[in-house]
Chain A
Amino acid sequence: EVQLVESGGGLVQPGGSLRLSCAASGFSFSSYSMNWVRQAPGKGLEWVSYISSSSSSIYYADSVKGRFTISRDNAKNSLYLQMNSLRAEDTAVYYCARTCLVCQGSLDYWGQGSLVTVSS
């Protein structure tokens, strides 16, 4: 069974940093590209970042470019999101999501989410 489990969320002050982790199991993690998607309270979904299976390609939404860094450790079946210079508007549930291999960019499995709250 495919499982994605996020951790590392919490309360942080504006300007602070936080690192999210996503532990993957039940599939060959090193074969799949991965994403972070976030959802502000009561709002819609916003794609945040993408990393290819080998980490050779990385992309970010303009809203987080220069502040967030995505990475992965295939030996540990883990995905990460380092978030720096956090702002109130970064408050959201952050989901890790797997890119479907045959589904043209669709995201076929999602974690349960990790809440990040940026507030003083």
Chain B
Amino acid sequence: DIQMTQSPSTLSASVGDRVTITCRASQSISNWLAWYQQKPGKAPKLLIYKASSLESGVPSRFSGSGSETEFTLTISSLQPDDFATYYCQQYNSFTWTFGQGTKVEIK
């Protein structure tokens, strides 16, 4: 099974900071990677699909990059609404695997 490892697990940042979260796959997944944002008590929200495609309605400060085994989610200028937990997710042969999550906290 493909394992997804996110880093860091927790990130402390200030409004306006540039934030980068990394996700590594245990084997190549091409660009079959998505990023989600989840706030406490709420369902996850799709931000990025196919590693770098921005979901409709998602602010352009969010961007994704990478391929094969290494991927990044970047928030160019952190806003108060962005404090949340972020998950990467891979899809391969009808199995879906999520990373363990990265919590973005207020510094």
Contact = CB atoms under 8 A, between A and B. Distances in A.
B95 interface: yes
Contacts of A35: 96
Interface in A61-120: 61, 95, 100, 103-108, 110-113
Interface size class of B (residues with CB under 8 A): 20 to 34
Interface residues of A, number: 22
Contacts of A45: 36, 38, 44, 87, 89, 98, 101
A110 B49 contact: no
Contacts of B38: 45
Contacts of B49: 100, 103-104, 106, 108
Contacts of A37: 96
A107 B46 CA distance: 7
Given A105-B96, A107-B34, A100 B43 contact: no
Interface string A29-42: 00000010100000
Nearest to B32: A104
Interface string B93-107: 011111111000000
B31 interface: yes
A103 B96 contact: no
Interface in B5-52: 31-32, 34, 36, 38, 42-46, 49-50
Contacts of B89: 45, 106-107
Interface of A: 35, 37, 44-47, 50, 57, 59, 61, 95, 100, 103-108, 110-113
Interface of B: 31-32, 34, 36, 38, 42-46, 49-50, 53, 55, 87, 89, 91-92, 94-101
Given A37-B96, A105-B92, 11 more contacts: A35-B96, A44-B87, A44-B100, A103-B34, A103-B49, A103-B55, A105-B34, A105-B91, A106-B49, A106-B89, A107-B34
